[in-house]
Copies of this chain bind each other. A is one copy, B any other.
């Protein structure tokens, strides 16, 4: 089994070596700019670690793992657009539309999504690509909620929003691995719950960091949620309680991991890293 840092390097190398469709021509530059500009690679790492916990080789997981990162990057490129979150800074660099123009950024996002499916469709079975499609649609539904609700969410609404916007793709990091691993629908259920809780943990920590981090640490503009009047775990529960929620969620994930078959020690490390991250 690989350690989290090794898994991240495997994902980075795979992403850097990806061949895009020749027909994209010079648009490829915009895809690579957004895809290779850093990032924690939490989704591919989580997918790879889940697959290894299930006894699969990382090489068999890499296309599924990296298809998730392409979908994630597609969502960042489109969410940063002026008509959506209007964010000029991403991973410490100019956003795609600042660097290449809005037209190219829209097309680059579209192409990243299509390339994600092309990658997931390399498997003989359509199961991985199906998980990817479901997760992408959930994520888009979450972003739609985000842009159409103005500070009028309660705790259940906020949780629903994040379960979709952030949670579905993180859950898919786990479920695509179980699809590659050939698990039955019944065997997948506890893994799916695990993926959901990792997504929740990720989002609570994100909200805490948005309220407390610096631009230098985050590589993006902090305090944007508060400035936009968005409901977050911090605005809803206060900073102290949001931190407690993060701790409680982390502890619940560890309990779930202890009950799952296989060696989940690397997954436990990843969960702690998600909890403790500074950016």
Contact = CB atoms under 8 A, between A and B. Distances in A.
Majority secondary structure of chain A interface residues (helix, strand, loop or mixed): helix
A224 to B, nearest CB: 16
Interface string A129-144: 1101110111011111
A148 B113 CA distance: 21
A72 interface: no
A12 interface: no
Contacts of A142: 23
A243 B136 CA distance: 43
Interface in A98-155: 101-104, 106-107, 109-111, 113-115, 117-118, 121, 123-126, 129-130, 132-134, 136-138, 140-145, 147-148
A124 B130 CA distance: 11
A121 B133 contact: yes
Contact of A137 (B21, B81, B102, B130): B21
A67 B73 CA distance: 24
Given A109-B110, A114-B136, A123-B126, 5 more contacts: A21-B134, A25-B145, A78-B107, A83-B106, A110-B110
